[in-house]
Amino acid sequence: MDGHDHGLHFVRTVPLFAGLPETTKHHVASAVVTRQYQRDERIYGPGDRTGLFIVHEGLVKVHRLAASGTEQLLRLMSPGDFLGETALLADTTTDHFAVALRPSELCMLDRERFKRLLGQHPGVAVHMLQTVSGRLGLAEHMVSDLTGRSVAQRLAQQLLLLADEAGRADFTLPTTKKELASYLGTTPETLSRRLATLQEAGVIRLGSGQSMELLDPASLRTVSSGG
Amino acid sequence: MDGHDHGLHFVRTVPLFAGLPETTKHHVASAVVTRQYQRDERIYGPGDRTGLFIVHEGLVKVHRLAASGTEQLLRLMSPGDFLGETALLADTTTDHFAVALRPSELCMLDRERFKRLLGQHPGVAVHMLQTVSGRLGLAEHMVSDLTGRSVAQRLAQQLLLLADEAGRADFTLPTTKKELASYLGTTPETLSRRLATLQEAGVIRLGSGQSMELLDPASLRTVSSGG
DNA sequence: CGCAATTTTGATGCTGTTCAAACCAGGTGG
DNA sequence: CCACCTGGTTTGAACAGCATCAAAATTGCG
């Protein structure tokens, strides 16, 4: 299987391109550059002038570094997700980092071709608009959570969400606890303490590594909503 | 001048509709419902199923209430800005408030017509995508600022931004200090103290009401970037 | 002029950070 | 196969920033 076929197969699995006609999918597939990234390899960083990336395989974190050195994890991107569009649409360079958390494969569509695609296929623009709008909702939710809710509340909410995504009460974190702490806007130390508290209360059970189990989800829901 | 003409005049001033052909502008103008809002009047709230709003005159705040009662100001919308698109694109109800901070005029385009417009005029989708993408950037910036920077740093940054927007060192806040505190993710008390500190240091001068003057912007820049 | 809301100031307490050190896990090379 | 090393996790102690509560002062508005 050569690069083109591989790309075409890939393009078919991307929600963003779902509505495109066959011939356009071929065009996109041949225009796209696919690359593998190792664990911890940087995909782009502040100042880079990249195109649109789409995750094919693996897990990518989008984060920002404050002057103080604090890292804020903004989002995790999984297969099918796109990233890098903010700088592209504003015609500037990026102001954040994208790093592969595991061996990953991404493809990139250069700026020119992407803009052309956007202008010629409104469906892509609309789909992208829906996605970005959803991300905005999440980000603004995060803002109000950071000011209006405690770490314990945010953690409880996140644990419920993770269990929900996994579809079961026992699951494994997609990342290290350090990254989870960053996502929740706190430190590893504080997160560790809150988790310990929950375990002592019999609400969760911490397994080895990043695995855990929710023993009392109802209790978590109470905590999450400020009980 | 009847409602239609008024609407048409309005439509011409909206950046979002800038690229539309004349005939479409007429259609939009006749489809739009214009309304006046008093100071503190609610435009929409959580659970409402609204269309797309566009600010014509005045100032609108978009905010969220935490269970604890904490209010988080998310953004201020001025003439030309649109709002309500998140719920619309996700086909759900809103999860936040929009309130007129002054006597304001807004128009609303209902869901159906908006969706049709979006599908038929890709330029609108692309423009909207750019705007929403920019807002996402701001929101994510806010997230990392809330976790990585102190109130003093966020305040310094905001003061510089306000002076920049005003184009001069002495300006008047667009809102009350209470709202500014909410925007910065802090309390009125803390904001008042930080402003007092800056004044004592000779960095700013607080005038009556919401007016102030930046005496030493360089110093603010130092504070803002963590000096 | 006087009321209501905002702003300021003060005193106190708590949540979460910081620094430090011990502990643990996974992966590498001898 | 095991010692080792690096980064993640946990725990402890002390501290700092900011919120909270309370009350006085100021502002703007009817």
Instruction: Provide the 8-state DSSP code for A18.
Output: T
- Pick from A164, A154, A138, A145: nearest CA to A191: A154
pLDDT in tens, chain B (227 residues): 444 566 788 888 899 999 889 999 998 999 999 999 999 999 999 999 999 999 999 999 999 999 888 999 999 999 999 999 999 999 999 999 999 999 999 999 999 999 999 988 989 999 999 999 999 999 999 999 999 999 999 999 999 999 999 999 999 999 999 999 999 999 999 999 999 999 999 999 999 889 999 999 999 999 999 88
Distance CA B25, CA B30 (A): 9
Q: Which residues 6+ apart lie within 8 Å of A36 measured at CB?
A: A103, A104, A105
A135 Cβ under 8 Å from any chain B Cβ = yes
What separation in angstroms does the CA of A182 have from each of A57, B9, B207? 23, 48, 40
The larger pLDDT score, comparing residue A11 to residue A192, is at A192
Confidence (pLDDT) at A97: 97
Q: What is the mean pLDDT of residues A76-83?
A: 97
> Could A133 and B72 be called an inter-chain contact, meaning their C-beta atoms sit closer than 8 Å?
no
Tell me what pLDDT residue B3 has: 46
Tell which B residues from 3 to 42 touch A, by Cβ distance under 8 Å: none
Q: Name every chain A residue with its beta carbon within 8 A of the beta carbon of B132.
A: 129, 132-133, 136
Element (H, E) at B176: none
From residue B157, how far is each of B213, B214, B221 by CA, in Å? 14, 12, 7
- C-alpha distances (whole Å) from A219 to each of A159, B64, B91, B187 are 12, 25, 31, 30
DSSP A15: G
Q: Which nucleotides along chain C are within 7 A of a protein C-beta?
A: 6-11, 15-20, 25-26
Burial of B205 (0-12, 13-18, 19+ CB in 10 A): middle
Name the residue closest to the C1' of D16 by its CA: B150
Residue A33 region, left (φ>0) first, then alpha (ψ -120 to 50), else beta?
A: beta
User: Which B residues between 137 and 156 have a beta carbon under 7 A from any strand C atom?
Assistant: 147
pLDDT value at A2 more than 50? no
* C1'-nearest nucleotide to the CA of A176: D8
Q: Is the CB of B207 under 7 A from strand D?
A: no
Distance from CA of B38 to the nearest CA of A (A): 26
Residue B164: exposed, middle, or buried by beta-carbon count in 10 A (0-12, 13-18, 19+)? exposed
> Mutating which of A95, A115, A128, A132 best tests the B interface, going by the most B Cβ atoms within 10 A?
A132
Q: Integer distance in angstroms from CA B196 to C1' D23?
A: 19
Q: Does residue A208 lie within 7 Å of nucleic acid chain C, judged by its CB?
A: yes
- Number of A:B CB contacts under 8 A? 144
Structure tokens, A158: 């996140």
User: Which domains are assigned to chain B?
Assistant: 3-146 (2.60.120.10), 150-224 (1.10.10.10)
Residue A19, pLDDT score? 86
What pLDDT is recorded for position A165?
96
Per the CB < 8 A criterion, the answer to whether A96 and B141 are in contact is no
The Cα B178–Cα B44 span in angstroms is: 21
pTM of the predicted structure, to 2 decimals: 0.95
Distance A178 CA to D13 C1' (A): 22
Q: Across the interface, which of B68, B133, B135 has its CB nearest the CB of A148?
A: B68
- Give A145→chain B minimum CA distance, Å: 8
Interstrand relation of A60-65 and A71-77 (parallel, antiparallel or unpaired): antiparallel
Dist CA B133 CA A153 (whole Å)? 29
Q: Which residue is nearest to nucleotide C17 (CA to C1')?
A: A187
User: What pLDDT does residue A10 have?
Assistant: 82
The tokens describing A164, both together, are: 């929900």
Span A125-132, average pLDDT: 96
Closest partner residue to B122 (CB to CB) among A125, A147, A148 is A125
Given pLDDT bands bounded at 50, 70 and 90, which one contains residue A1?
very low
Mean pLDDT calculated for residue range A191-214: 97
Chain A 121-180 residues in 7 Å CB range of strand C: 150-152
Predicted local distance difference test score (pLDDT) of residue A8: 81
pLDDT tens digits, A17-39: 988 899 999 989 999 999 999 99
Binned at pLDDT 50, 70 and 90, residue A3 comes out as very low
Smallest Cβ–Cβ distance between B90 and the set A72, A133, A146 belongs to: A133
From the list A141, A183, A152, the residue with the least C-alpha distance to B65 is A141
In sequence order, what are the residues at sequence separation of 6 or more whose Cβ sits closer than 8 angstroms to the Cβ of residue B50? B44, B84, B87, B88, B94, B108
Confidence of residue A5 (pLDDT cuts 50, 70, 90): low
